[in-house]
Amino acid sequence: MAALMAALTLGLSGCAMTPADPDEAQESIQVIAMDTVMIFSVYGEKSTHAAYAAEDEVRRLEGLLSRTEPDSDVSRLNAAPAGEEVTVSEDTRTLLEAAQLYSKITDGTFDCTLAPVSSAWGFTEDSFRVPSRTELNGLLKNVGWDKFHLSEGQSLAASHDEGVEIDLGGIAKGYVTDAIAKILEENNIPRATISLGGNVLVWGDRPDGTPWRIGIQDPARVDVADGYAGFLNLTNAFAVTSGGYQRYFEEDGKTYHHIIDPATGCPADSGLTSVTVVADWEQGESNGTLCDALSTALFVMGEEKALDFWRTSGSGFELVLVTEDGRVVSTDGLTDCFAPDETSGYAYETVS
C-alpha cells in the first residue's frame, strides 16, 4: 500500500508547474486515507505547501477518528469499560458533540452508535452477512445517540453505556473537509478542488472565472464512466453525497448497503438512491460537517421527510435527491447551479 501511494503521489505531483502567474501554479495529489481515494488540486503560490498540509491533516484526523486503528481516540473510547471517562483530543470531542447535535435535530436518523450493527452486517471487516432479526434486536438495545456522554465544562472526556460503540464514518470526512478549508484559507489559496470520494469542497472559482462543475454520480449507472444524474456548478461550497451504491453487497439476489436505519438496524429502504447536500463555505462555520451528517440522515429519512426537514431548517443548505422511481428532485435554492444530465433518463423536479 505504501509503495502504491508513493507511486500515485509522485505521478500526479509530476503535473506541478511553476508558471509566471503564481495564481496558476497547481499541485495535484492523490491521497488514500479513510478508506477513500482523495484528490486535492490546489492553485496559487502556496499550492504545494497547502496540498501536503492538507494530506498531513487528513492523516492526523484519521489517526484520531478511525474506528479500526487501535490507538485512535474512537478505538480507545470504544474499548473503555462502560462509564469510564476517556480523555480525547479537541477534534474528537468537537465531532462527538456535532454528532449528538445532528442526531437530535434529525430525529435520531443520524446515529454514530450504530457500530455494532454495521459490524454485524460485515461492513467493518468486509465480511458481509445478513444478520437475523433476533440478532439485530439484541444489538439495537445498545444503539442510541444518548448512550454516550460528554463531560461538562473544560474537560475533554467522553464515556459510554454498556455495549455502546462509536462510529464517526457518517460525519468524519465532512469534518476533514472543514479542516482542509481552514488550511486553504490560511494559505491564501485562490482556488482548489478537494475530493474525498462523496465529499467535495470547491474553493474559489475555475481559472477562467466560471464555477467548478461537480458531477453527481448516477446511482443506477455506477459502472458507466460519466454516468451522472446531474451537475452542480459551484464556487466556495461543499457538496456531499450519500448513496447506497457507495458500499454494498449482494446475497440471494438482494442488495444490502452500508447506510443503516437506526429504527430497524437494516440498510435504509427509504426510496432514495442518493442524497446530495450542498452548502456554501462560510468563514468560521462547519458546513462540511453539516453536509456530511445531513446527507446520511436524509438518506435514511426518505424524500418526504427530507424535504420537510429542508423546509423547516431555513436556508442553510440545498438538496438533490435521486429516487428509486427515476426522479431527480432538487430544491429551489439550486436553480442557478443545478443542471440536469439530459441523457440520464431521469425526470427532473424542482421543489420549494
Residues at the site binding Mg ion, with contacts judged by CB under 5 A: 170, 292, 295-296
Min CB(80)–ligand AMP separation in Å: 20
Query: 9 or 296, CB closer to Mg ion?
Result: 296
CB 68 within 8 A of CB 75: yes
Please report, in angstroms and rounded to a whole number, the separation of the first and last CA atoms in the chain.
Answer: 47
State the binding partner of 219 from ligand AMP, Mg ion, none, CB within 5 to 8 A by kind. none
Interface stretch with ligand AMP, choices 9-17, 146-154, 185-193, 255-263 (CB under 6 A): 255-263
Contacts of 146 by beta carbon, 8 Å cutoff, 6+ apart: none
Choose which of 27, 73, 111, 178 interacts with ligand AMP (CB under 6 A): 111
State the binding partner of 119 from ligand AMP, Mg ion, none, CB within 5 to 8 A by kind. none
Choose which of 259, 272, 301, 321 interacts with ligand AMP (CB under 6 A): 259
Choose which of 242, 274, 276, 323 interacts with ligand AMP (CB under 6 A): 242
Residue type, 104: K
State the binding partner of 258 from ligand AMP, Mg ion, none, CB within 5 to 8 A by kind. ligand AMP
Min CB(331)–Mg ion separation in Å: 18
Choose which of 202, 260, 277, 337 interacts with ligand AMP (CB under 6 A): 260
Query: 51 or 112, CB closer to ligand AMP?
Result: 112
Min CB(263)–Mg ion separation in Å: 18
Choose which of 50, 54, 77, 112 interacts with ligand AMP (CB under 6 A): 112
Choose which of 62, 165, 167, 341 interacts with ligand AMP (CB under 6 A): 167
Return the HEC string of the chain.
CHHHHHHHHHHHHCCCCCCCCHHHCEEEEEEEECCEEEEEEEECCCHHHHHHHHHHHHHHHHHHHCCCCCCCHHHHHHHCCCCCCEECCHHHHHHHHHHHHHHHHCCCCCCCCCHHHHHHCCCCCCCCCCCCHHHHHHHHCCCCHHHEEECCCCCCEEEECCCCCCCCCCCHHHHHHHHHHHHHHHCCCCCEEEEECCEEEEECCCCCCCCEEEEEECHHHCCCCCCEEEEEEECCEEEEEEEHHHCEEEECCEEEECCEECCCCEECCCCEEEEEEEEECCCCCCHHHHHHHHHHHHHHHCHHHHHHHHHHCCCCCEEEEEECCCEEEEEHHHCCCEEECCCCCCEEEEEC
Min CB(5)–Mg ion separation in Å: 25
Min CB(64)–Mg ion separation in Å: 18
Site for ligand AMP in 123-162 (CB under 6 A): 123
Q: How far is residue 233's CA from residue 214's CA, in Å, rounded to a whole number?
A: 6
**Could you give the string, one character per residue 282-311, with x where binding to ligand AMP holds by CB under 6 A and - elsewhere?**
----------x--xx---x-----------
Does 187 bind ligand AMP (CB under 6 A)? Our answer is no
State the binding partner of 110 from ligand AMP, Mg ion, none, CB within 5 to 8 A by kind. ligand AMP
Min CB(208)–ligand AMP separation in Å: 32
State the binding partner of 169 from Mg ion, ligand AMP, none, CB within 5 to 8 A by kind. ligand AMP
Does 178 bind ligand AMP (CB under 6 A)? Our answer is no
Site for ligand AMP in 90-109 (CB under 6 A): 109
Does 170 bind ligand AMP (CB under 6 A)? Our answer is yes
Strand order in the sheet with 327-331: 26-33, 36-43, 192-196, 199-203, 237-243, 272-280, 318-323, 327-331, 347-351
Q: How far is residue 194's CA from residue 329's CA, in Å, rounded to a whole number?
A: 25
| Residues at the site binding ligand AMP, with contacts judged by CB under 6 A | 109-112, 114, 118, 123, 167, 169-170, 198, 242, 246-247, 258-260, 262, 292, 295-296, 300
